[in-house]
Amino acid sequence: MEREHRAFLEDLLSTASPSGYEVPGQRVWAEYVEDLADEVRVDEYGNAVAVHEGSDDVDTSVAFAGHGDEIGFIVREVTDDGFLTIGRVGGSDKTVTQGQHVTVHTDDGPVEGVVGQTAIHLRDRDDDSAPDISELCVDVGVEDGETAEELVEVGDPVTFAQRVRELEDGRLTARGMDNRVGIWAAAEGLRRAVEAGADATVYAVSTVQEEVGLQGAEMVGFDLDPDAVIACDVTHATDSPGVPGKKSTGVELGEGPVVARGSANHPALVEAVRGVAEEADIAVQLQATGSRTGTDADAFYTARGGTPALNLGLPNRYMHTPVEVIDAADLDAMADLLGAVGAAADSHAPFGVDI
């Protein structure tokens, strides 16, 4: 991964964007893609779309879409003694929330805090259960509620305070890989499609509010109306200890991006992407999604009466924790594959089934 592209990824990962509060992250993404696209537009909720117009005589369009939001928390109440009670934003995991450094993102700037946990010496040794997030409190270090209310307001978003760290063999760990890697890949896929001289119209999209119900994709899917859309998201790498056998998918870090099959994933688009991958010598893994993908693909494929869609996943360990782990080589391969798909889109269109 080139230095400029790695810096973009780190900028995305270090910019907090919980669902409903995506503006800072969307701004980072939109500013980056301005140099890659003929046009960048943003709707009223912050969904951002970068457009490569392609050739006038080619009437094919393909979209690469990731979601720019992340899970997190929200301030529910400021207590009289200066602590903050919190609620979930998206699928936050109560088992990894206690004892963490967090940042409250206020209109006046960040306020640092910790999610308190009673010391092991004082707890009931026979009770190892994790309290609900609604039972937890953030300690920002003040002595009373009046002082706390000068710093934060009800409704301020909260995220884990983590930085990007490099592990061995090109692995990266951070909070919010889900799904900054997807919007990074969408942007870099656009870059690579343009550099390859794509004749089709290519859209790169960063949606909002996926983690709370695929809301941004529903907005964009109706408005954009592409011939095909590839939802770029993470998927579970099940190659680490502790994953129950019945939950294993066979997906591994370092073995390439993951093409989903079944449910929302249009068979003609699946075939096209797998063919492009083989031609470009890009290794891909397969994953079965019999009922739903759990990604923006589930919203895109029913838009406008039906839009051929595909979920392209990046293997990710420890999803929805502060220590998500991905392989940078998988991410580069994902962007390469998207670029190749964009460059070849007009030769594979239309994407309808043959009956």
3-state secondary structure of 37: coil
Nearest to 77 by CA among 88, 89, 85: 85
Question: Measured between alpha carbons, how far is 50 from 201 in angstroms, rounded to an integer?
Answer: 11
Ligand-binding annotation for 320, yes or no, is yes
DSSP class of residue 318 equals S
- Residues acting as catalytic residues: 210
Neighbours of 355 (CB within 10 A): 3
Ligand-binding annotation for 53, yes or no, is no
Task: Give Cα 18 distance to the centre of its chain.
Answer: 11
Buried b (16+ CB within 10 A) or exposed e, 157-171: bbbbbbebeeeeebb
Residue type (1 letter), 130: A
Q: Provide the edge-to-edge strand list for the sheet that holds 324-327.
A: 165-166, 171-174, 324-327
Neighbouring residues of 97: CB distance < 8 A, sequence distance ≥ 6 = 73, 115, 130, 133, 136
Helix axes 23-33, 3-13, angle to 10 degrees: 160
The gap between the terminal CA atoms of the chain, to the nearest Å, is 43
Cis amide leading into 311 (omega within 30): no
Structure tokens at 209: 């509010």
Question: Which burial class, exposed, middle or buried, applies to 229 when counting CB atoms under 10 A from its CB (0-12, 13-18, 19+)?
Answer: buried
Ligand-binding annotation for 211, yes or no, is yes
**Residue list, annotated binding site for Zn(2+):** 67, 178, 211, 233, 320
